[in-house]
Copies of this chain bind each other. A is one copy, B any other.
Amino acid sequence: MNEAVVLTPERILEVTEDVLRRYGLAKATVVDVARALDVSHGSVYRHFPSKASLREAVAKRWLERMDAPLRKIAQDTGPAPARLETWLRTLFAAKRERVCDDPEMFQTYLTLAREACAAVKCHKDGLVEQMSAILSDGVKQGVFDVTDTKATARAIFDATSRYHHPAHADEWKDADLPARVDALLALLLRGLKAA
């Protein structure tokens, strides 16, 4: 065992992602992960008691990485309409970049995320919460007229599915995408505006 590096869950997850990238989801095993870490597979199991729990943790880490910059925007101050627009564009860009930069890993993460439905639901609810917070700020600022911020945040999440739901990934390279995103965001922001 390599004594130089302390075996943290974070370190295991990092290496697991490398292993997944190298061997692919179907072939990668916990033994491969242990070998890449230069530890026994028992050491890996001490942190992740099953292959399933390791897979779930990889999915969660992926979702959290997507979440972090968005949470920052939601917790920011400043005019709510601009923040909402930045938040949505950041979400779309994060998804699009992940698909375009590394389509194979995107598919891997997607498969892992499908297994981890609870984590995905939690992730989606969190995104809606973040938007809901921006909408509340907008109401306080007197720029948004929204009665039910939670339901409206969900409506915006639904309305933008085409630009963040993986089922539409094939459409994210369309040449007219930027213009369509602009038109959609303009329409949604108008719908929120206080009279």
Binding site for B on A (CB under 8 A): 148, 151-152, 154-156, 158-162, 165, 167-168, 179-180, 183-184, 186-192, 195
Determine whether the beta carbon of A152 is less than 8 Å from that of B183: yes
Q: How many copies does the complex hold?
A: 2
Contact B162 A158 (CB under 8 A): yes
A148 to B155, CA, bound (A): 23
- The distance from the CB of A193 to the nearest CB of chain B, in whole angstroms, is 8
Min CB distance, A159 to chain B, in Å?
Answer: 4
Contact indicator A179/B167 (Cβ below 8 Å): no
Whether B195 lies near A195 (C-beta < 8 A) is yes
Partner of A183, one of B154, B162, B184, B190: B154
**Chain B positions within 8 Å of A152 at CB level:** 183, 187
Smallest Cβ-Cβ distance to A146: which chain B residue: B187
List 20 A-B residue pairs with CB atoms under 8 Å apart, sorted by A's residue number: A148-B183, A151-B180, A152-B183, A154-B180, A154-B183, A155-B180, A158-B162, A158-B180, A159-B162, A159-B188, A161-B168, A162-B165, A165-B167, A165-B168, A167-B167, A188-B191, A189-B191, A190-B190, A190-B192, A191-B191
Whether A187 contacts B191 by the Cβ 8 Å rule is: yes
Question: In the bound complex, do residue B168 and residue A155 qualify as a contact, i.e. CB atoms below 8 Å apart?
Answer: no
Report the minimal beta-carbon distance from A151 to chain B, rounded to whole angstroms.
5
Taking CB atoms, residues of chain B closer than 8 Å to A155 are 180, 183-184, 186-187
Please give the distance in Å from A4's CB to the nearest CB on chain B.
48
CA distance A191 to B180 in the complex (A): 16
Interface centre among A151, A187, A190 (most CB of B within 10 A): A187
